[in-house]
Chain A
Amino acid sequence: QKEVEQDPGPLSVPEGAIVSLNCTYSNSAFQYFMWYRQYSRKGPELLMYTYSSGNKEDGRFTAQVDKSSKYISLFIRDSQPSDSATYLCAMRYTGTASKLTFGTGTRLQVTL
């Protein structure tokens, strides 16, 4: 079993839709949870991070962490064609070097 599981998609939605992206994990020691966006032939860029459980909102993006279920989510409201990319969840322990464990990524396509 992989430490971090993520549905690879692809996920296709119409412009304006609400998108839900999810990851599950097996190691309860993870404390920092991140979402990276990766455009084709580019490196990943950090979208949001959350420490421990709870919600965090930034514009059209909301990150949720449910540590009891070992489940994290990223919601995108009013999705735009420019949101078309691969979304990678990543997580790491606290108190150690910043070694990130990534999911496989979900490819999202927002259509006009």
Chain B
Amino acid sequence: EAGVAQSPRYKIIEKRQSVAFWCNPISGHATLYWYQQILGQGPKLLIQFQNNGVVDDSQLPKDRFSAERLKGVDSTLKIQPAKLEDSAVYLCASSLRTTDTEAFFGQGTRLTVV
């Protein structure tokens, strides 16, 4: 079974530029999550989708972050404009259902804002 795929693996941008990350969840998984993991911290949930609807985006900085999940499969997370404090690893995860205990994580995209 293929895992959660993310791209790119690494990205370096200057502050105020925009950037987008892509995620392809495990086939058949209805729930998709984007987490932000700052160095030395645990992952923090940014947004959760159930199919193509948003379940929780309470911790998403909506003035600069946006995410979509078209057709309930792939998802993109965008940052515009980026700030230095956005430097982090962005992890995508998926699970079969919202109530599942186990979420499967991708390898993440490491973003450095300079």
Interface residues, chain A, with chain B CB atoms under 8 Å away? 4, 6, 8, 32, 34, 41-46, 49, 88, 90, 97-100, 102-105
Contacts and interface: CB of A to CB of B under 8 A. Distances in A.
Contacts, number: 61
23 contacts: A6-B42, A34-B101, A41-B107, A42-B107, A43-B108, A44-B43, A45-B105, A46-B103, A49-B102, A88-B43, A90-B42, A97-B48, A97-B50, A98-B33, A98-B95, A98-B99, A98-B101, A99-B48, A99-B56, A102-B44, A104-B41, A104-B42, A105-B42
**For the complex, would chain A's binding face be called helix, strand, loop or mixed by DSSP majority?**
loop
Interface of B: 4, 31, 33, 40-45, 48, 50, 55-56, 91, 93, 95, 98-108, 110
A102 B42 contact: yes
Contacts of B4: 43
A87 B61 CA distance: 27
Given A43-B105, A46-B102, 16 more contacts: A6-B42, A41-B110, A43-B4, A44-B105, A46-B101, A90-B42, A97-B50, A97-B55, A97-B56, A98-B95, A98-B101, A99-B45, A100-B43, A100-B103, A102-B44, A103-B42
